[in-house]
Chain A
Amino acid sequence: HFEMTTTSTNATPSSSPEFYHSLHVNYIKNLASKIDSPSSYEGAVTEHLRMSGIYWSLTALSLLVPSSQVDELMDLQNSIVDFVFSCYDEESGGFGGNRNQDGHILYTLSALQILALAGSLEDARLVDRRLEILGFVSSLQQPDGSFAGDAWGEVDTRFTYCALSSLSLLGALHVDVDAESETIVDVDAAARYIASCQNFDGGFGCTPGAESHAGQIFTCIGALSIARRLDLVQDVELLTWWLSERQCDSGGLNGRPEKQADVCYSWWILSSLCILGRVEYIKGEKLADFIVKCQDDEDGGIADRPGDMADVFHTFFGIAGLSLIGTLHETKRDADGNEMTSLTIVDDCEEKDDSTGTCRRKYRMIDPVYALPTDVVERLQLKGQIMERKTSSVDRDERLKQYDIL
């Protein structure tokens, strides 16, 4: 066990919880350089999902440092974009989790997300394979509208989200009812299948009737948002209340009733609530307190819960969670009316205001539908749908301004 100390290293005393910015940046960069080494245990057990691991690392990093630094890392690691294409599986038409692996929808999405981050969606290697990739996604749709993950046929609502998001990133998602052109997939059937997965408690599972689970809820709500069919969600208040019930005494969120809080649910639940217009149903401050307690204050990174070992998955979702709550971007005013951040950023600052002597770092924001920085989503003009906000707090709407409102 390590204990979270609250000693401030800043000149000005502060009671805000500490966010170990530099430690996390170093953690991610170090991991990136070590992970493929033959002696890396973590590398070995995560080899099959390397594509997703890279996506989590890069997106987390992109929320912490300027894009130029992210680009630098991409080139340093023997061009991550080259790696992405080396994982393309000619036989299936999709991307595998690593080299010489069968194509799977999970890693196809991660691949496309990485390319979006890198600004490489126009890369000739992708353009040349566009039809095959679209064909791969299309081939996975089942008669009932659901999606399999790969040729072997496992079905899960996660795969619907991956399919629709992939198509959207490729600019191939036709959601206009009047369009005469043939659609790659039957979006209506996909949406109706998702709707059939809504349970008696308001939540969604991996298949119809499967237990409601916060992670699966994100994939279902995200899919419906991309398909612009949020109208199919029944009893939104019941669902959003179920999501708010996930907040435990510790401030952290669990994934199902009577389970332990886990940092990753900070993302799955907050993003769903953002889309559904009810992010205030979670007490952001308390959640932020929980997330910062999950940091490793020596080596950086964030764990699933306080005291556990950090990993890149929870590091990404912890940072993304803090971004969605707004804590990373928030400034408050102290008793004297001076501006202070909600989090004390423990390290060298990038934007020092010499006149006031204060430090501020500007963080990119993350989009709750596509789980990519908002500027990437805007640049690509990705489509989606959200529900109207129930309470005020206007500045956070910035993230969602390009989406249709139900």
Chain B
Amino acid sequence: NGNDNGNGSGSGIYYDFKRIMEDLELASAIGGSNPKNYQIWYHRRSLLELSFEKLEQQEQQQLESKSESESESEPKFDGKQLARNELKYIAGVLQEDSKNYHAWSHRQWILKTINDDELWSNEMKYTTQLIDEDVRNNSAWNQRWLTTHRGKNKPLSIYDARSEADYAIEITTLDPYNESPLRYLVALLREQQNQNNNHSSSEEQQAEQGGGETIFLSFLNHVEEKIGGLHESLIGVYESSSLMAAYIDLMEMKHDLDSFEKASVMANDLGVKFDIVRKKYWLMREAKLKSKVLELRG
């Protein structure tokens, strides 16, 4: 509660932060036995919002007054440090329950609000660590998407997309029955494909586009080869329906006769043999792929 003594001095703001830290500790104590309570998480966020605001003000004031004596006598509260502390707290909660939806949501808010390069790159390492511990942690994969994109909608560069795709393939190879890395992988490719399709065709861009298309196709072929290879290795052993679903998506992206045919057969296999509970979906998918075959045959 902003009760500084009104003279804008550092000590007033320091006093506020002490109270805020205490309040956060209290929230942690109560939150410990109630990790899924909306209100406690939101309370943490309110406290942090206030802190970030005050810190910004403090920074502003220090810039304006250019006072040096204050920075020597008062402890430095840093928005980034505050964020780091909070991320550490959340990591502790996630240690207990790696899928706590509130914890993840709060984590995303902090990263997007501070929007600091170092924190983003630390977060990449954090998701890698979590995926290491449990490749099936869908929350971690979702966080990885957010983090590679720095919380924005802008598509990845082809270089970053390839790097992430290789990582996803590496993890999939460890456990081909898990859908998370496969969904991540397919989305990476779709994003690049949409990038290419969305470019308007000025002469200059058409030349670029031509190059872009080739680069995308080689990327797609590279991924399809890996996934195809992995699938082959499982035939007759224990086919993975998640893997086959991704394989179908990749083949569909290739947009050629052979791929559509192969994909339609695989869709039928899934509906009839490997993923019977979703039969209606797979038969619909098969029908769509077959109609694409007919289209291409003209």
Q: Are A247 and B277 in contact (CB under 8 A)?
A: yes
Please name all residues of chain A whose beta carbon is closer than 8 Å to the beta carbon of B142 when the two chains form the complex: 199, 201, 205, 209-212
Assembly CA distance A261 to B284 (angstroms): 25
A211/B139 contact (C-beta < 8 A), A200-B184, A206-B105, A257-B180 known = yes
Q: Are B105 and A210 in contact (CB under 8 A)?
A: yes
Please name all residues of chain B whose beta carbon is closer than 8 Å to the beta carbon of A207 when the two chains form the complex: 105, 108-109
Q: Are B280 and A154 in contact (CB under 8 A)?
A: no
Q: Are B284 and A390 in contact (CB under 8 A)?
A: yes
CB-contacts of B147-164 with A (<8 A): 151
CB-contacts of B184-198 with A (<8 A): 184, 187, 191
Q: Which of B138, B191, B245 lies in contact with A211, CB distance below 8 A?
A: B138
Q: A153-B46, A256-B99 are in contact. List 9 more A-B contacts (CB 8 A).
A: A152-B42, A200-B145, A211-B139, A212-B142, A240-B281, A241-B278, A245-B179, A259-B99, A390-B284
Q: Which of A212, A241, A247, A278 has the most CB of B within 10 A?
A: A241
6 A-B interface contacts by CB (under 8 A): A199-B142, A200-B145, A210-B101, A211-B143, A258-B99, A283-B279
Query: A166 an interface residue at 8 Å Cβ cutoff?
Result: no
Give the contact-size bracket for chain A.
Answer: 20 to 34
Assembly CA distance A249 to B241 (angstroms): 13
Query: B254 an interface residue at 8 Å Cβ cutoff?
Result: no
Assembly CA distance A325 to B42 (angstroms): 36
Rounded to whole Å, the gap between the CB of A350 and the closest CB of chain B is 34
Q: Which of A245, A257, A391 lies in contact with B284, CB distance below 8 A?
A: A391
Assembly CA distance A237 to B108 (angstroms): 27
Rounded to whole Å, the gap between the CB of B142 and the closest CB of chain A is 4
B interface footprint on A231-263 (CB within 8 Å = 1, 0 otherwise)? 000000100110011010101000011110000
CB-contacts of A173-216 with B (<8 A): 199-201, 205-207, 209-213
Assembly CA distance A280 to B280 (angstroms): 7
Rounded to whole Å, the gap between the CB of A277 and the closest CB of chain B is 11
Which 10 A-B residue pairs are closest in the complex by CB-CB distance?
A200-B187, A211-B142, A257-B138, A209-B146, A154-B42, A280-B280, A258-B136, A201-B183, A281-B281, A283-B277
Assembly CA distance A348 to B185 (angstroms): 55
Assembly CA distance A205 to B102 (angstroms): 11
Rounded to whole Å, the gap between the CB of B127 and the closest CB of chain A is 12
Q: Which of B101, B105, B278 lies in contact with A247, CB distance below 8 A?
A: B278
Query: B77 an interface residue at 8 Å Cβ cutoff?
Result: no
Q: Are B145 and A286 in contact (CB under 8 A)?
A: no
A interface footprint on B278-289 (CB within 8 Å = 1, 0 otherwise)? 111100110000
Q: Are B101 and A211 in contact (CB under 8 A)?
A: yes
Assembly CA distance A199 to B144 (angstroms): 12
Rounded to whole Å, the gap between the CB of B218 and the closest CB of chain A is 22
Please name all residues of chain B whose beta carbon is closer than 8 Å to the beta carbon of A209 when the two chains form the complex: 108, 112, 142, 145-146, 151
Please name all residues of chain A whose beta carbon is closer than 8 Å to the beta carbon of B167 when the two chains form the complex: none
Residues of B within 8 A of A (CB): 38, 42, 45-46, 99, 101, 104-105, 108-109, 112, 136-139, 142-143, 145-146, 151, 178-180, 183-184, 187, 191, 245, 277-281, 284-285
Assembly CA distance A307 to B224 (angstroms): 44
Rounded to whole Å, the gap between the CB of A233 and the closest CB of chain B is 16
Q: Are A244 and B281 in contact (CB under 8 A)?
A: yes
Please name all residues of chain B whose beta carbon is closer than 8 Å to the beta carbon of A259 when the two chains form the complex: 99
CB-contacts of A268-286 with B (<8 A): 278, 280-281, 283, 286
Residues of A within 8 A of B (CB): 152-154, 199-201, 205-207, 209-213, 237, 240-241, 244-245, 247, 249, 251, 256-259, 278, 280-281, 283, 286, 390-391
Assembly CA distance A206 to B104 (angstroms): 11
Q: Are A210 and B108 in contact (CB under 8 A)?
A: yes
- Which chain B residue lies CB-closest to A201? B183
Assembly CA distance A200 to B101 (angstroms): 17
Q: Which of B45, B99, B183 lies in contact with A200, CB distance below 8 A?
A: B183
Q: Are A210 and B104 in contact (CB under 8 A)?
A: yes
Assembly CA distance A209 to B143 (angstroms): 8
Please name all residues of chain B whose beta carbon is closer than 8 Å to the beta carbon of A245 when the two chains form the complex: 179, 278
- Which chain B residue lies CB-closest to A212? B142
Q: Are A281 and B191 in contact (CB under 8 A)?
A: no
Please name all residues of chain A whose beta carbon is closer than 8 Å to the beta carbon of B277 when the two chains form the complex: 247, 249, 251, 283, 286
Please name all residues of chain B whose beta carbon is closer than 8 Å to the beta carbon of A257 when the two chains form the complex: 136, 138, 179-180
Assembly CA distance A134 to B223 (angstroms): 53
Q: Are B101 and A206 in contact (CB under 8 A)?
A: yes
Rounded to whole Å, the gap between the CB of A287 and the closest CB of chain B is 10
Assembly CA distance A259 to B98 (angstroms): 11
Q: Which of A209, A212, A249 has the most CB of B within 10 A?
A: A209
Q: Are B145 and A199 in contact (CB under 8 A)?
A: yes
Please name all residues of chain A whose beta carbon is closer than 8 Å to the beta carbon of B42 when the two chains form the complex: 152-154
Assembly CA distance A399 to B204 (angstroms): 54
Assembly CA distance A197 to B277 (angstroms): 29
Assembly CA distance A353 to B94 (angstroms): 58
Assembly CA distance A301 to B187 (angstroms): 41
Rounded to whole Å, the gap between the CB of A153 and the closest CB of chain B is 8
Q: Are A281 and B138 in contact (CB under 8 A)?
A: no
Assembly CA distance A152 to B112 (angstroms): 20
- Which chain B residue lies CB-closest to A240? B281
Assembly CA distance A177 to B142 (angstroms): 36
Please name all residues of chain A whose beta carbon is closer than 8 Å to the beta carbon of B184 when the two chains form the complex: 200
Q: Which of A211, A212, A256 has the most CB of B within 10 A?
A: A211
A241/B281 contact (C-beta < 8 A), A200-B183, A257-B136 known = yes
